[in-house]
Structure 1
Amino acid sequence: MKYTTEIIIESPIDTVIRKLDNPENLKHWQRGLVSAEHISGTPGEFGAKMKLKYKMGKRDMELIETITYRNLPHEFHATYATNSMNNIQENYFKENSEGHTIWTSKSEFIPLNFFMKIMTKLMPKAFKKQSLLYMQDFKNFVENGTSVANA
């Protein structure tokens, strides 16, 4: 399953990237994040891996992020792997004529078991809705300093 989401952040690209590129900020815009632990490579650089743990309602989820391409401030790509799903993310950033940042995210979800294949077929809108929520939360964090850490 593939889709593209886009949001305009009313802030210059250098501010957006500085906040995006700081792992300490993840808790402020990724709902349910419990921990982020660097596990290999140079943090933030190509090939680096980080373990991300989330609590989504009653469900615990663990992802391994692997940075697959980094050309900041314009591009950041990574894969997110779980036992049941792989997610390929390509993130593109550009500044518009007003000095705001356009963030375009291309997502591909690859189910690794029958249940997740069914989920991607029956509920594709839920995946896109979750992606947009993270983007909106990041936008609110950058523009207003609003954190989801205590939500």
Structure 2
Amino acid sequence: MKYTVSIEIALPRERVVQLLADPAHMPKWLRGLVLHEPLSGVHGQVGTESRVVMQMGKQRMECTETITRREPADLRGIPKGHAVHFDREIVGEGMWSAVRETLTEGGPQKTLWVSESEYRFSGLMMRLVGRLMPGAFRKQSQQHMQDFKAFAEEGKDVREAKG
């Protein structure tokens, strides 16, 4: 299963990249995040493996995330017109995913964030989930982007949201 979601954020690309790259901000916008800890490497750097635990309702999911691409490697002073790329692979029980994030300038005070996701499932239960609920994965990705936009632009924290 593959899909692409995108969102425009009313902030300069450099600021959006800073906020996305800072692990201290993740719980503020990544709805359901319980834990995100590097097992090896440095957060956000290519090759870093992290343990990620997410809670969605009564469902708890644990997986391993590996950063596969970060361009440019140094996020300070990114030349105008250059895209920023963050790619990662996520492996959990019965699931493999690759996510490719691209951030481009949408104007002097705007950033376009495009996220391409690919999922593969194994095991009967996970294959059924993938077939019966493909829209749920896309919807969750879009929700994470909307939550980040609200955090970045307005300082909203998903942990303070009702419902």
TM-score range, shorter chain: over 0.9
Aligned residues, how many?
A: 151
C-alpha separation in 2, matches of 1:18 and 1:6: 18
TM-score (norm 1): 0.95
C-alpha separation in 2, matches of 1:77 and 1:107: 10
One-letter amino acid of the structure 1 residue matched with residue 66 of structure 2:
T
C-alpha separation in 1, matches of 2:42 and 2:152: 25
Deviations 1:70-106 (A, max 9, x none): 0145100001111121110000010113530000000
Q: Do structure 1's residue 19 and structure 2's residue 29 form an aligned pair?
A: no
**What is the SS of the residue equivalent to 2:160?**
coil
Point out 4+ residue stretches in structure 1 off by more than 4 angstroms: none
Please state how far the C-alpha of 1:42 moved relative to its aligned partner. 2.7
One-letter amino acid of the structure 2 residue matched with residue 107 of structure 1:
S
C-alpha separation in 2, matches of 1:16 and 1:57: 29
Question: Structure 2, unaligned stretches of length 5 or more?
Answer: 76-83
One-letter amino acid of the structure 2 residue matched with residue 68 of structure 1:
T
TM-score (norm 2): 0.88
**What is the SS of the residue equivalent to 1:11?**
coil
